[in-house]
Chain A
Amino acid sequence: MNLVWLALRDYRSYASLDFHPDPGVNVLLGENGSGKTSILEAIGYLATLSSFRRSPDAALVRLGADAAITRGEFSSGPSGAVIEVETPATGRRRVLVNGKGGRSRADVAGVVALVAFLPDDLDLVKRGPAYRRDYIDDVAAQAWPAAATEQTEYDRVLRQRNALLRRDGRSADGATLDVLDERMSELGGVLLARRLAICSLLGPAVSELYADLGEEAEAVDWYYLAAGIGPVEGQPGAAELAGGLRDGLSGARRADLERRTSTVGPHRDDLVISIGGRDARSRASQGEQRSISLGMRLAAFHVLTERRGSAPVLLLDDVFSELDASRGRRLVARLPRGQVFVTSARAEEVPLVGKRWRVVTGEVTAE
């Protein structure tokens, strides 16, 4: 999988950019604030329809412009796809895949695979469950594009349930809540089954890559914790998981009416990571947490390469400044061959040979 060209109009600091990267390694060099991360963000935006900086859509539009236009062509062997996104400062964005109206993440996940290593990846281990859920869901959506639609549908029924609870609280209509619970159980069961399936692929890869990356001998392990239900072992089917959710939701009904929100469901679940039997979130060193997060990104890269038959586009945003030289080299050695985009302020800290680009505010030139 590789990006053939990228064209930006009014995206962040870029009034206009036409970028034809190398199919191999691309090293983007520039000062902080030069806009090199924005290029990676734009590539990621085409693949996921969201900013990896967690920025709202409106923040992507250049100051004073009506809309940002992000376009790019991805090719994978003989097949390819042009993705175009028009992001207005206010209002709904428009997505075209090969000139046809796409409507959802599934439409782009079907044609692009991408993994990004980010400077704040430590958050994957250190911060709240939402970071780990997003990580799992992102990999699942790329492994099975249908999963992206399933995620959107679960999200929608959850928002409907929460809207009912928020508005009516204890006087919420029981029959309506019953059918929302039923839909949420069914869609949640499907979502959970996907998460467990992708976790079973990622888990062993994370342990193995972690062991490969560091000197630490301690084993990394994880389990999936379903809110209000408990740890989930093995790989139950969607129907069985839906049954568990049905019971979980009815058990939480009283609390939900009281608190006016949904306290049980996949949107509250966590992936509990441990290192040498210690909780990685609260009782691991910063260095250990960083290595685990690298292992998680690498595992995603390996699993997606395996599933899709070719390496996803890889983004490494200012990753090497956070790693010591030997870890950086070990990371690079474990990357399957494919197209890579690396940003850095200092050329000498990048242990990768490839085409070098100089980024100066709003412009990219080959070195």
Chain B
Amino acid sequence: MYEAPVQRLIDELARLPGIGQKSAQRLAFHILHIEAEDANRLAGAIVAMREQVRLCRRCFNVTDSEECTICRDLRRDSSEVCVVERAQDIVVVERTQEFRGRYHVLGGSISPIEGIGPDQLRMRELVVRVDDEKIVEVIVATNPTVEGDTTALYLARLLKPLGVKVTRLASGLPVGGDLDYADEITLGRALAGRREL
């Protein structure tokens, strides 16, 4: 519909989550009118992030070195691990100021509808960590959805035979949404009131 270079950008933007055709058009035309320098900085930031950021070899959080800042922080309690679906959930849990252990990013939750089973998630890596790092408690903070609950139960059955305590956030989080639908206080309470699975 538009000149090829404009249309190409619209198409790329529209592939981003939460961006529809109309928003993509609005963004593209905004970018068309900003200073060339600003456009370069935006493009540069995208490229740099992709080049410099990788996954923490221990917990699979995003980082710019071998291990993420949380895993490198010696003040954190290495006997507790909080399991989340996505790296961005770590920020949500961190905001509560209630958790001082480390994390493990699964990469999603069990959902046969989307073709995701335990093998598509970083479960084996977690089992290895439980053994290597002398982990005492695994707190499952997957989303309060049917898939998140199913994954929590799967993890409990997988890890309990290893002698580790497996807990789940207390109920009270908005059902069916992502972890970040909950405010800090609610999530903090859910962490404090976690129960054994």
Contact = CB atoms under 8 A, between A and B. Distances in A.
Interface of A: 103-104, 149, 152-153, 156-157, 159-161, 163-164, 167, 173, 175-176, 178-180, 182-183, 187
Interface in B142-194: 145-147, 149-150, 153-154, 157-158, 175-177
B81 interface: no
Given A149-B176, A179-B157, A160 B115 contact: no
Contacts, number: 53
Contacts of B154: 175-176, 179
Interface stretch (B32-40, B51-59, B71-79, B106-114): B106-114
26 contacts: A103-B176, A149-B175, A149-B176, A152-B176, A156-B146, A157-B146, A157-B150, A160-B110, A160-B111, A160-B112, A160-B146, A161-B112, A167-B112, A173-B117, A173-B118, A175-B154, A175-B158, A176-B118, A179-B110, A179-B150, A179-B154, A179-B157, A183-B146, A183-B149, A183-B150, A187-B146
A160 B154 CA distance: 14
Contacts of B147: 156, 160
B196 to A, nearest CB: 16
What's the interface size class on B, roughly? 10 to 19
Given A104-B176, A173-B117, A175-B118, A160 B157 contact: no
A88 to B, nearest CB: 10
Classify the secondary structure of A's interface with B: helix
Contacts of A183: 146, 149-150, 153
A187 B153 CA distance: 14
Given A160-B113, A173-B117, A180 B176 contact: no
Contacts of A173: 117-118
Contacts of B149: 183
A178 B110 contact: no
A167 B115 contact: yes
A125 to B, nearest CB: 33
A180 B108 CA distance: 16
B113 A159 contact: yes
A164 B112 CA distance: 5
Nearest to A182: B153
Nearest to B174: A103
A164 B117 CA distance: 9
Interface in B20-38: none
A160 B150 contact: yes
Given A167-B115, A176-B154, A179-B110, 5 more contacts: A104-B176, A160-B146, A164-B117, A175-B157, A179-B154
Contacts of B175: 149, 153
Contacts of A153: 146, 175-176
B38 to A, nearest CB: 33
A161 B147 CA distance: 11
A180 B151 CA distance: 9
Contact of A163 (B113, B145, B153): B113
A179 B153 contact: yes
Nearest to B20: A91
A15 B147 CA distance: 41
B157 A178 contact: yes
B29 to A, nearest CB: 21
A176 B145 CA distance: 16
A159 B115 CA distance: 12
